[in-house]
Amino acid sequence: MTHDNAATSEAATPVPAVTGLAPDGAVDAWQEQQVAAQLRERIAGQFGRSLHIRTLDTGSCAACEQEIRLLTAPHYDLHRLGFFFTPAPRHADLLLVTGPMIRAFDVAARKTFDAMPGPKIVVATGACALGGVYPADAFVHGSAGEILPVDVRVPGCPPSPLALLQGLLVAVDRLAEKAASLTFVADSLTGEVPG
């Protein structure tokens, strides 16, 4: 069974994939600094210096979670860029999904997504969440996109911290677009012209 919003969202909007890494996964420190600077600038300009992330493990092996945890280590220090992890979906702007979306978890995943205030964005992280490891069967949906409206896909098994940062950069831009469209709708309802 496919979540109605998920089917509509994926059909209507092309989902960007994060690319640009060396084939062997080598990471250039300069490239990391460039992505970090872009993230810091966009978060400060668009979201009042902070964006809250709720991670959602839907049956993964925990390799993606280890890479996500690396983002909070001193080398990457995600907090200085304006990102904060929250356990409460009601405080989250971004849902970071890992794992193959096991069927036993689909109700909890929907409830987590529905509890988030808008505008919100879903980032599917890793090969499992993208449906590339486990095909759909009696126990697994196959991808996060079968249940949730995925906006950004970050490939890799597991994705590197740099790939995660690049995915967050794409997600921040997508979230800003959603926020701008909501502002325009609100202004059109009140009769004011945005300015």
d(CA 52, CA 86) in angstroms, rounded, equals 6
pLDDT of res. 191: 56
- Cα–Cα nearest to 8, from 149, 147, 151: 149
pLDDT of res. 134: 85
According to DSSP, the β-strands at 152-154 and 121-125 are parallel
- Cα–Cα nearest to 169, from 12, 20, 29, 43: 43
Helix (H) or strand (E) holding 84: strand 83-85
Q: Which two tokens stand for residue 55?
A: 């991670």
Topology (CATH level 3) of domain 4-13+50-183:
Rossmann fold (3.40.50)
d(CA 101, CA 58) in angstroms, rounded, equals 5
Q: Are the CB atoms for 187 and 50 separated by under 8 Å?
A: no
pLDDT in tens, the chain (195 residues): 444 444 444 443 444 555 554 444 455 677 787 888 887 777 776 666 688 999 999 998 999 999 999 999 988 888 888 899 999 999 999 999 999 999 999 899 999 999 999 899 999 999 999 988 888 888 998 899 999 999 999 999 999 998 999 999 999 989 888 888 876 555 555 555 555
- Cα–Cα nearest to 168, from 87, 84, 58, 66: 84
Q: What is the pTM of this model?
A: 0.76
Backbone φ and ψ of 51, nearest 5°: -140, 130
* Distances from the Cα of 39 to the Cα of 33, 50, 76, 162, angstroms: 10, 11, 12, 12
Q: Which two tokens stand for residue 71?
A: 């983002």
d(CA 71, CA 2) in angstroms, rounded, equals 32
